[in-house]
Amino acid sequence: MTGQVSANEPLLKRYPGNPVIPRNALPCSNSILNSSVVAFGEEYRGVFRVDDQCREMTLHSGRSKDGIHWDLSPEPIQWACKKEEISAFEYGYDPRITPLDGKYYITWCHGYHGPCIGLGVTEDLDEFELLEIALPPFNRNAVLFPRKIKGEYVMLHRPSDSGHTPFGDIYLCRSKDLIYWGKHRFVMGTARGWQSTKIGAGPVPIETDEGWVLIYHGVLTSCNGFVYSAGAAILDIEEPWRVLHRTRRYILAPTEIYECVGDVPNVAFPCGALHDKETDELRVYYGAADTCVCLATCQLADLIAFIKDNDMI
């Protein structure tokens, strides 16, 4: 395969056993969605968004031997925090996990006088520490790059508002210490079609010889409401606010019943990705209809070729 896909097929191929995590995988869960995973030794770990039966948004840890069959903790993550004034956990959703500096950093939409960017850290994915608020309200969809670039930590994010944001572009900021963030840059905005209302960063960017491969979500406003699909871009390695290539076509859109029917219909929302360097397989974990967690796969080389073949730049 060379990245060429027939006109009626997306690039990502759905796992036939979807959803890999159903909405009722925990006794307390109303839905489990928009979650992130990471390789951990010989197994896999993850941080999962669980909307419980009080309809409160919580974060739970989980583990798996194969990345498909998951065992989630029935209790939410208990965050240790050294700063009492920010230690209360109001809500959290749509986490991403980034291996960085020998630790695992989690970013998510955090409740602190409105939706902002929370930042946490763990060494073992069992005990978690809540760090400083990275970016103040209103903000969502933050993800760290997996290494420093020119001596600085780099993060993508999406400024928003207090509600179900009807707009949104992707921005980048940098930090020397993971506390103070600045040097803000515009990365990319909305475009025609499936990404015309808003966009937001998805899984941790993947470093390749071509640049950083970024999977992101795009939203279209239809007569039936928002429709969330997934696309991809390639960012410059040393100046990742520079977009080198960007897909005109989506790589995955909600078409299956579990993506179109649920708490929020018509949603395919990518948050996690695993790349096997030996086989080049890319696994993309996505929330379906804001209800369950699903899996789709492709070869990373095919994704890069697809981005270039369908480039809008």
Q: How many domains does the chain have?
A: 1
Query: Which domain covers residue 127, as residue numbers?
Result: 19-309
| 68 within some domain | yes
- The answer to whether 251 touches 236, Cβ cutoff 8 Å, is no
Sign of the four-CA dihedral 144, 229, 52, 159: positive
pTM greater than 0.95: yes
| 73 within some domain | yes
3-state secondary structure of 35: strand
- Which residues, 6 or more positions from 124, have their beta carbon under 8 angstroms from its beta carbon? none
- 289: tokens are 């209809």
The tens digit of pLDDT for each residue in 110-134 reads: 999 999 999 999 999 999 999 999 9
Tokens 């669980």 correspond to what residue? 50
Q: What is the DSSP string of 129-172?
A: EE---SB-SSEEEEEE-SS-BTTBEEEEEEE--SSS-S---EEE
User: Whole-angstrom Cα distance, residue 173 to residue 154?
Assistant: 6
- 105: tokens are 């950093």
Indicate which CATH number applies to the domain containing 32: 2.115.10.20
User: Whole-angstrom Cα distance, residue 100 to residue 122?
Assistant: 11
- The answer to whether 88 touches 111, Cβ cutoff 8 Å, is no
Q: What is the pLDDT of residue 275?
A: 98
The tens digit of pLDDT for each residue in 132-183 reads: 999 999 999 999 999 999 999 999 999 999 999 999 999 999 999 999 999 9
| 4 within some domain | no
| 13 within some domain | no
| 8 within some domain | no
- 46: tokens are 């993850």
What rounded mean pLDDT belongs to the chain?
96
The single-letter DSSP state of residue 204 is P
Q: Taking the CA atoms of the chain, what radius of gyration do you get in angstroms?
A: 18
Phi and psi dihedrals of 203, rounded to 5?
-65, 170
The tens digit of pLDDT for each residue in 169-215 reads: 999 999 999 999 999 999 999 999 999 999 999 999 999 999 999 99
| 9 within some domain | no
User: Whole-angstrom Cα distance, residue 262 to residue 256?
Assistant: 11
The tens digit of pLDDT for each residue in 206-243 reads: 999 999 999 999 999 999 999 999 999 999 999 999 99
The amino acid at residue 75 is: E
Q: What is the pLDDT of residue 10?
A: 78
Is beta strand 128-130 parallel, antiparallel or unpaired with respect to 79-81? parallel
Beta bridge partners of 226: 221
User: Whole-angstrom Cα distance, residue 201 to residue 141?
Assistant: 6
| 12 within some domain | no
- The answer to whether 47 touches 77, Cβ cutoff 8 Å, is yes
- 177: tokens are 């210490």
3-state helix, strand, coil in the chain (%, to 5): 5, 50, 45
By residue count, the chain amounts to 313
Using DSSP, how many helices (H) and how many strands (E) does the chain show? 2, 22
pLDDT band at 1 (very low <50, low <70, confident <90, very high): very low
| 155 within some domain | yes
